[in-house]
Structure 1
Amino acid sequence: MPDNAIARAERSIHHVHELIHLMFTRPPGQTQAVLGGLMAVFAEDFSMVGTAGKVLERPQVEQLFRTAAGTRAGLAISVDQVRVVWQAGAHVAVRYQETHRWNGQQTQRWSLAIVECTATGVIWHCLHETPQAEPTAATTTKHDGILPGP
Structure 2
Amino acid sequence: MNNNPVEQARHSVHHVHELIHRVFTDADGTGEAAIAPLMDVFTEDFSMVTTSAAVVGRAQVEQLFKGAVGARPGLEIVISDLHTVWREGATVALRYKETHRQNQRETSRISVAILRVHHHSTQWLYLHETPLPQETPA
* TM-score under structure 2 length normalisation: 0.91
CA distance, structure 2, for counterparts of residue 103 and residue 31 of structure 1: 20
CA distance, structure 2, for counterparts of residue 95 and residue 76 of structure 1: 20
CA distance, structure 2, for counterparts of residue 15 and residue 38 of structure 1: 9
CA distance, structure 2, for counterparts of residue 128 and residue 57 of structure 1: 12
Shift of 1:28: 10
| Aligned counterpart, 1:53 | 53
CA distance, structure 1, for counterparts of residue 108 and residue 32 of structure 2: 27
Superposition misfits of 4+ residues, deviation over 4 angstroms: none
Long gaps (5+) in structure 2:
none
> What does the per-residue CA deviation read over 1:18-53, in whole Å, with 9 as the maximum and x for residues that have no partner?
000000000696323200000000000001101000
8 A Cα contact 2:25 2:31, kept in partner:
no
CA distance, structure 2, for counterparts of residue 108 and residue 118 of structure 1: 30
| Aligned counterpart, 1:140 | none
Q: Percent identity of the aligned residues?
A: 48
| Aligned counterpart, 1:102 | 102
Q: Could you say which structure has the larger radius of gyration?
A: 1
CA distance, structure 2, for counterparts of residue 28 and residue 18 of structure 1: 13
CA distance, structure 2, for counterparts of residue 48 and residue 69 of structure 1: 20
Cα distance change of structure 1 residues 47 and 4 upon mapping to structure 2, 3 Å threshold: same
What secondary structure does 2:82 align onto?
strand
Long gaps (5+) in structure 1:
136-150
CA distance, structure 1, for counterparts of residue 55 and residue 19 of structure 2: 21
Pairing 1:111-150 to 2, within 5 Å after superposition: 111-134=111-134
What secondary structure does 1:56 align onto?
strand
CA-based RMSD of the aligned residues comes to 1.8
* TM-score under structure 1 length normalisation: 0.84
Q: How many residues align?
A: 134
| Aligned counterpart, 2:11 | 11
| Aligned counterpart, 1:91 | 91
Question: In the alignment, does 2:25 pair up with 1:25?
Answer: yes
